[in-house]
Structure 1
Amino acid sequence: MSMLSSVIKTTTLPASIKTNKSTEFFLCVKYIGRLGNNLFQFASGYGIAASKGMKLVVGVTDKINKIFQIQNSKIIHISRNKQECNNAIFRREHQACAYDKNVVDFKPDATYRVGRYLQSWKYFHNVSNELREILKFRNHIQTKAKRLMANVLRKYNTARENVTFIAVHVRRGDMVDSGHGYLVATKEYFEKAFQYFRSYSSPIFVVCSNGLTWSKANMPKNFTVEFIDRNSPEEDLALMASCDHVISSVGSYSWWAGWFTNGTVTYYKWPIVEKSKRRIAYSSDFMDYFYPHWIGL
């Protein structure tokens, strides 16, 4: 049994999530926000559809379909205009970043739309292995990520098997002084996270950020650090996905960087101001959002 399986076995999981035989009804999600948001919406929609034996509708022009090699399957229906969702019955979550059993408490006897954000691993924990096969970056994105990785290896005259790549995602931008209760990871957090990985074999820290000026000034010294810039969000995510482990910060995009590597992941334990309006989006201990085996610092 893997460490992840043993940890999840001790965590309260939604009893209703299991794969059922297929029906003729569709499940729809509305993609709102950016890439990290869209990934949660797709993954949670897929998990719910699988549990109901329904088909998740994905539009040809949806961002998620343009970035990943999503294909028709027993659970996915690729649609040109998503007309299958025109009369869908909407079921909305009560908390954007926590599992809501009421969202999935329905019989697959009609077409449903679920949403809005669905940011909890509990919606799709039972289909994570399937999702790792489905969420393959399109070839041109993979090619760019491989080229970026090769450039780093060439700079240090080493081979991939000789180093441990630690992706570092630093979310700044619109979360800094937003006035909405968001908190960004601190310099002290990154110092602790870098120290956590110090003993790993020949670590190279690869930093992707929408605040590179701050990152360059505040990343810990005396480590091998590479700052990556001038790439699209999907190219940065593909690069981080090809690393071994992740130092995440805050936000859904950072969360998915951790998910894709499937290695050791650290996260900033205080993403929201207590008693702020945004705090109610999460469960009391944040563990509907963060995996229990991830390391909070």
Structure 2
Amino acid sequence: MAQYSIVNINNFLADSDAYIQSCFTRRNALIIMSGLIIFFIFYYIWFSHSGMVFIKSLDTRIYYSKLQKLVSYDDNSKILKDKAQGPLTCLIIIRSADGALGNRMFLFASAYGMARLHQCQLYVAPWILVDLRSVFRIQINETKVQLTTDESVVVNRTDIFSRYSSCNYYPDLFRIPYNKTFQRYEMNGFYQAWGYFQKYKEEVAFLFQFNQAAIVRNVGLVEQLIKAVWNIPLNLGNYTKDTVPHSYLKSILINPQPPLMPVTWIGIHIRRGDFLSFFKIDTSIEYLTWAMNFYRRKYINSRFLIASDDKKYVQTHFGNLSDIFVTPSGFFSGEDLAALVLCEHTIVTAGTYGWWAAWLADGDVIHDLNYPVPWQNCVRDHYFPPWFLFPHNSSSKKWQARKK
């Protein structure tokens, strides 16, 4: 019986071979097989390469995305990228600062950027650090910059090189190797130029994480917002209002759980106050209305959150619109800034405070053209990052480029 089966199999194979040979010659079969092998080789190479490109582009998208801080809710676990650091041979100094929060953020970020770039130690006057830490964590010990608040490194020294900057930058500060004249370099003024720290954007954003004092009352604000938009209670998960990270609150607003309808949140900072008298500028209602309509057209289901130093003005002009919310009148500047950064995108009128709200929110930005004013003698490209948009302006003053 086994012998019979073997004979049948041999007959079957012989018949199959005869059939194949009747359809193709052996030469044609060899060509076809070779072609298939080559095809599969190219197919594998192409998809492997494409896969690597896809993964790389996906990582880049997450790495630079405006939602990058939402990947992990444990902000303390953030590990900064290690860039080579040599022995400290220089010192960057900031010990005077004018203006309010936005100005000091610029000065600190610029000093950090220069210290990081040139592997310098950073001296920050203790009062500046205390002021910033009233709003931010400033966990500089977790970065590659060595901070000192020891006054002895700057007192009674004759070798400190000091320069003033308002809102433009000095290219010679970026030269490698570092100019020996700048071994002890003091930043005076404001240094409001994003180029000083853009190379270390992630690290600056890490330093400017909001502390719990700035977050805690925003918990109540988020509770009111989700109640008004989705009519659901606030769920902090494993956190309490005293421990919840800012990034977690932001995720609740911009990534609601299905089947809730997604909402695009746009923060608006309206600066008035001393700008009306000192700079003599006031953003027009036409500009603000146009900017909001710009986002309403661009994003489905937009909502706006306004912070301002003149909330009565905001309530008068926008308080009756159902898609607009205003931060509480009792919020201090750090709480208002934390509220604005809860949003994905931003509308800015004037001032460094609104600039930083937009930078930290890390989304689309529309900025009025009324600031900086011409007499500030700024270079536009030094002050404004390239992703800030100026699609419309209806204000009383327009940008005038500095004459060179």
Task: Name the TM-score, length of structure 1 as normaliser.
Answer: 0.83
- In the TM superposition, residue 52 of structure 1 has moved relative to its aligned partner by 1.1
Structure 2 match to 1:209: 308
Structure 1 match to 2:108: 42
Structure 1 match to 2:135: 67
2:365 is the alignment partner of 1:295 = no
CA contact (8 A) 1:68 1:136 kept: yes
154, 162, 165: which one pairs with 1:85?
154
Structure 1 match to 2:90: 25
- In the TM superposition, residue 203 of structure 1 has moved relative to its aligned partner by 1.6
CA contact (8 A) 1:190 1:220 kept: no
Q: CA RMSD in A?
A: 2.7
> Which secondary structure state, in structure 2, belongs to the residue aligned with residue 27 of structure 1?
strand
- In the TM superposition, residue 223 of structure 1 has moved relative to its aligned partner by 5.1
Structure 1 residues 22, 53: CA separation in 2 closer, same or farther (over 3 Å shift)? farther
Give distance in 2, aligned partners of 1:64 and 1:22. 28
Give distance in 1, aligned partners of 2:107 and 2:132. 10
Structure 1 match to 2:281: 183
CA contact (8 A) 1:27 1:111 kept: yes
CA contact (8 A) 1:183 1:272 kept: no
> Which secondary structure state, in structure 2, belongs to the residue aligned with residue 64 of structure 1?
helix
> Which secondary structure state, in structure 2, belongs to the residue aligned with residue 33 of structure 1?
coil
2:215 is the alignment partner of 1:142 = yes
Structure 1 residues 273, 36: CA separation in 2 closer, same or farther (over 3 Å shift)? closer
Per-residue deviation, residues 185-241 of structure 1 (Å, max 9, x unmatched): 211110111011103132211110011222223349755111112111011001111
CA contact (8 A) 2:86 2:119 kept: yes
- In the TM superposition, residue 184 of structure 1 has moved relative to its aligned partner by 2.8
197, 211, 224: which one pairs with 2:295?
197
2:170 is the alignment partner of 1:97 = no
313, 334, 337: which one pairs with 1:237?
337
Per-residue deviation, residues 142-200 of structure 1 (Å, max 9, x unmatched): 2222332222212331562232211110000000032xx45232111101110111031
CA contact (8 A) 2:121 2:148 kept: no
- Find runs of 4+ consecutive structure 1 residues off by over 6 angstroms: none
> Which secondary structure state, in structure 2, belongs to the residue aligned with residue 287 of structure 1?
helix
CA contact (8 A) 1:55 1:75 kept: yes
Give distance in 2, aligned partners of 1:176 and 1:19. 47
Give distance in 2, aligned partners of 1:144 and 1:97. 33
2:154 is the alignment partner of 1:54 = no
Give distance in 1, aligned partners of 2:108 and 2:272. 25
- Give the partner amino acid of 2:93: C
CA contact (8 A) 2:135 2:210 kept: yes
Higher helix share: 2
Task: Answer with 106-115 or 42-51: which moved more.
Answer: 106-115
Per-residue deviation, residues 16-74 of structure 1 (Å, max 9, x unmatched): xx976341432111322110000000110011111111022234442113322123243
Aligned residues: 275
Per-residue deviation, residues 242-270 of structure 1 (Å, max 9, x unmatched): 11111111001010010110011110012
CA contact (8 A) 1:90 1:112 kept: yes
Per-residue deviation, residues 74-94 of structure 1 (Å, max 9, x unmatched): 314142x5332323613314x
> Which secondary structure state, in structure 2, belongs to the residue aligned with residue 166 of structure 1?
strand
> Which secondary structure state, in structure 2, belongs to the residue aligned with residue 198 of structure 1?
helix
Alignment of 1:1-16 (within 5 A): none
CA contact (8 A) 1:241 1:260 kept: yes
> Which secondary structure state, in structure 2, belongs to the residue aligned with residue 92 of structure 1?
strand
> Which secondary structure state, in structure 2, belongs to the residue aligned with residue 144 of structure 1?
helix
> Which secondary structure state, in structure 2, belongs to the residue aligned with residue 246 of structure 1?
strand
Structure 1 residues 120, 109: CA separation in 2 closer, same or farther (over 3 Å shift)? closer
Larger Rg: 2
Give distance in 1, aligned partners of 2:144 and 2:92. 13
CA contact (8 A) 1:22 1:52 kept: no
2:207 is the alignment partner of 1:121 = no
Structure 2 match to 1:8: none
Residue segments in structure 2 that go unaligned for 5+ positions in a row: 1-56, 65-82, 233-251, 257-261, 393-404
Give distance in 1, aligned partners of 2:354 and 2:106. 12
> Which secondary structure state, in structure 2, belongs to the residue aligned with residue 288 of structure 1?
helix
Task: Identify the structure with bigger relative contact order (alpha carbons < 8 Å, sequence gap 6+).
Answer: 1
> Which secondary structure state, in structure 1, belongs to the residue aligned with residue 167 of structure 2?
coil
Structure 1 residues 76, 39: CA separation in 2 closer, same or farther (over 3 Å shift)? farther
Give distance in 1, aligned partners of 2:321 and 2:217. 28
